[in-house]
Amino acid sequence: MAIQESGEMYLENILVLQKQKGEVRSIDVAHYSGYSKPSVSRAMNILKKDGLITIDQDGFIHFTDTGYQIAHSIYERHVVLTRFLTAIGVDEKIAAEDACKIEHDLSSETFERLKEHIAKTIDHKEA
């Protein structure tokens, strides 16, 4: 399934908020992301229409299996890229910002090789 970068960002934000808060509503996404409530509402409707999330009667957002897989994949890319960039000396805040820019455009092959490299070098040094 092809999903726009903005959709990936919203899914990742929902996942991060679920890890922090447990349950998430659109207003939480708006506060976290800094986007307007109407923008978030529109995005949630698109994600819902695309079968990536559901919203229950109390307004809580839940992932479908596909939505969770995409969110988890983007989040994993963010974490791995941030870790790699900080390991090579980039400031943590800058590394997280740069990882956010890179995570959506990086090919699967490059990401897998990067994970392998981290496992061989960075993880090995920390053990």
In tens, the pLDDT along 70-87 reads 999 999 999 999 999 998
The SS3 of residue 1 is: coil
Report how far residue 120's alpha carbon sits from residue 94's, in angstroms, rounded to the nearest whole number: 24
Fold category of 73-126 in CATH: Diphtheria Toxin Repressor; domain 2 (1.10.60)
- Residues in the chain, overall count: 127
The correct answer on CATH 1.10.10.10 for the domain covering 5-69 is yes
The end-to-end CA distance of the chain, in Å, is: 38
Q: Where, residue-wise, is CATH 1.10.10.10 in the chain?
A: 5-69
The reported pLDDT for the residue numbered 111 is 92
Distance CA 36, CA 52 (A): 21
Does the pLDDT at position 1 exceed 80? no
Residue 62 host element (H or E): strand 61-63
Note the pLDDT tens digit of each residue in 19-67: 999 999 999 999 999 999 999 999 999 999 999 999 999 999 999 999 9
